[in-house]
Chains A and B, each alone.
Chain A
Amino acid sequence: MQVRAAAIQMRSEPGDVSGNLDRALSHLSRCRDDGVELAVLPEMFNTGYCARGRYGPLAEDGSGPTIRALRHFSRRWGMAVAAGFVEHHAGHLYDSLAVLLPDGRLDVYRKRHLVFWECTRFRRGRDPLVVSTPWGRIGLAICADMIYRRVWRDYRGRIDLAIVSAAWPDFADRRSGRPHWLFGNLGPLSGEIPRLVSRDLGIPVVFANMCGETETTIPMMPRIVDRFAGRSSLCDGARGLPVRAGSEEAVVIASLSVPSSSPDRGASPCRSTSLSEPAGWSSTSAA
């Protein structure tokens, strides 16, 4: 089966939720004109990704302005949208990824592998999440999740397409271009891991990363004045060759071949909770 997918690589202004949402909607509108059926936005695209951000007041549940707007346009344009946001649930904050389907269904994945300053600001998610869609089963990951073997071990043989939403930094000084002595080799992995996963699992991978300037804050280390790595990509497991963005704002669009699900793969152990009504907002990767 073919699905026309888009990875939206955009910059986000920290704290400017309505401005970031407007910019994302204009990218989504472009995707709609191009016949896209599945569009992916970066991690925390609406709040911006910044160690100094105050996320409490910007966090949303299923009835927040970001999710409401995305749900509205997802229904209207008949397009599935995956978007990173800061979730507020039962007194806790999560670094989450919402998947909105054109039929109004909403599923939320919570980042399992928090890194650096995120550990002090968010609660970590516990479970992987598989979402059933008309194109097959989609597995979700957020940024640093994708560097951990167990994430892909959990999904192996149980998903037909993977989505990774990220705010992955370059870990290189943006003025001199010099890579950081410890983390410098992680930046280019943003372009490599989706390709490796796609080839390894034999499934398409949609990777949407943030772009623009940032300052990476690592505990007990000087701040790195760098930029987000960009390199958003669409990797087709069948064809192998990725379609990739550079480091600037871009929308990468391609048709991907989704392998049809075979019944002998067994039931997924991953929890998948549909949240069709905002009032029913509950945990999908409950801590």
Chain B
Amino acid sequence: MPFYVPLGARGLVLHVGGLITRGFGALVYWLGARRRPKPTLVPLVIPRDS
């Protein structure tokens, strides 16, 4: 068990549940991050005579 304090049989449920939640959550986060708009580069115009 990865826990600092003994959690008994519930600890096993929490551990397995945690692994599933983390895996699924990371997938949802990744999909969300892909959909998020990326910052775009704005062209900088410098006048020729500057």
Contact = CB atoms under 8 A, between A and B. Distances in A.
A and B: bona fide binding partners: yes
Interface of A: 56, 91-92, 114-124, 146-152, 182-183, 185, 189, 192-193, 196-197, 219
Given A150-B2, A185-B7, 8 more contacts: A91-B39, A116-B21, A119-B21, A119-B26, A149-B3, A182-B13, A193-B4, A197-B4
A219 B18 contact: no
- Measured as residues with beta carbon below 8 angstroms from the partner, the interface class of chain B is 20 to 34
Interface of B: 2-5, 7, 10, 13-14, 18, 21-22, 24-26, 28-29, 32-33, 36, 38-39
B36 to A, nearest CB: 7
A240 B11 CA distance: 27
A122 B29 contact: yes
A69 B14 CA distance: 39
B33 A192 contact: no
A37 B6 CA distance: 35
Contact of B25 (A119, A150, A183, A196): A119
Contacts of A185: 7, 10
Contacts of A118: 25
A192 B5 contact: yes
